Structure 1
Amino acid sequence: MKTFQTGLVAALASSCFISLAHAYTDEDSYVAVSGTAMSVTGDIQFDDFSITFENGKTLNFSGLVADTFIVDGQEVPASVYQVSHPGDPVLENDNRLCGSGAVTYIANWDDNGRSLVAVFTGDEAPSSNEEMCASYTYEQ
């Protein structure tokens, strides 16, 4: 009986660790699905502190500046982050994230089960997607 209990406890503990690791990985990993995302950023890791691109380049965030955003005239729940050290890193295929200056803000929102990421170069926090210099689409 003791062997059965030990085996059961080990199996439960093992499945908990696997579930936790799986949930953490899936939560932060995004697969590029749009043509621009595949050719510029590749797959990404994204959380409340930074975005890391497939080639290992990272932009860190200094903070969340808004939790809503205007997309095509409609307000949606979103996360708008300020980049702590603005930049436009060289990414996949020698492409740059924005191509027209240092990225200062990054917005992320859900669009029918896909995650959209928009990048901005302005000095002021963006309020809508009309101000973006580029956008990328991912699946989680």
Structure 2
Amino acid sequence: MNALKYAAAALFLTASPVLADDLVALSNTATAITGDISFDDFEMVFSNGEKIEFDELVGDHFVVDGKDVPASVYSVKGPGNPVLLNGNRLCGTSPVTYLASWADDDVTMVAVFETQDVPSSNDEMCALYTYVYP
């Protein structure tokens, strides 16, 4: 019976919830359109409370300026394109279909796509936003 208790305790301790990263807008684009964000494996929440929800993780690497980097590539539920700060949207009027995120030193890069197919590089993005940890 003790073994069962220890196993249950170990499972409880390792199954902690995923916490969102709170990020501060760095680029002029991020400051003007999204503001600061909260980002995790399920959604990206913008400073005005709107959000983009992710359907699934579809890739774990991405080509940035010809170089393969570790990244998270998500398909977007919906797809959607909420109205953000100052009436702006992430990519003009078309629905956002994919979002890719990767680290570049201490900066978190978020590329947004309106493509039918899963993007493989930043060449296909419609917008790029950059953030830092507070």
For the criterion TM > 0.5, the same-fold answer is yes
TM-score normalized by the length of structure 1: 0.80
**CA deviation profile, 1:89-116 (whole Å, cap 9, x unmatched):** 1101111111141000000000121000
Q: For structure 2, which runs of at least 5 residues remain unmatched after alignment?
A: 1-18
TM-score, structure 2 length as denominator?
0.83
Alignment of 1:24-103 (within 5 A): 24=19, 28-103=21-96
Q: Counting strand residues as a fraction of each chain, which structure ranks higher?
A: 2
Larger radius of gyration: 1
Partner AA of 1:77 in structure 2: P
Q: In the alignment, which residue of structure 1 is the partner of 2:102? A: 109
Question: Which residue identity lines up with residue 112 of structure 1 in the other structure?
Answer: D
Which consecutive residues of structure 1, in runs of 5 or more, have no partner in the other structure? 1-23
Instruction: Provide the C-alpha distance between the structure 2 equivalents of 1:88 and 1:98, rounded to a whole number of angstroms.
Output: 8
Secondary structure at 1:98's aligned position in 2?
A: strand
Amino acid at match of 2:53: N
How many residue pairs end up in the alignment? 115
**Contact (CA 8 Å) 1:116, 1:137: kept in 2 or not?**
yes
After the TM superposition, which parts of structure 1 deviate over 4 Å for at least 4 consecutive aligned residues? none
Greater helix share, 1 or 2? 1
Q: Deviations 1:7-62 (Å, cap 9, x if unpaired)?
A: xxxxxxxxxxxxxxxxx5xx510100100000000000000000000000011111
SS of residue paired to 1:130: helix
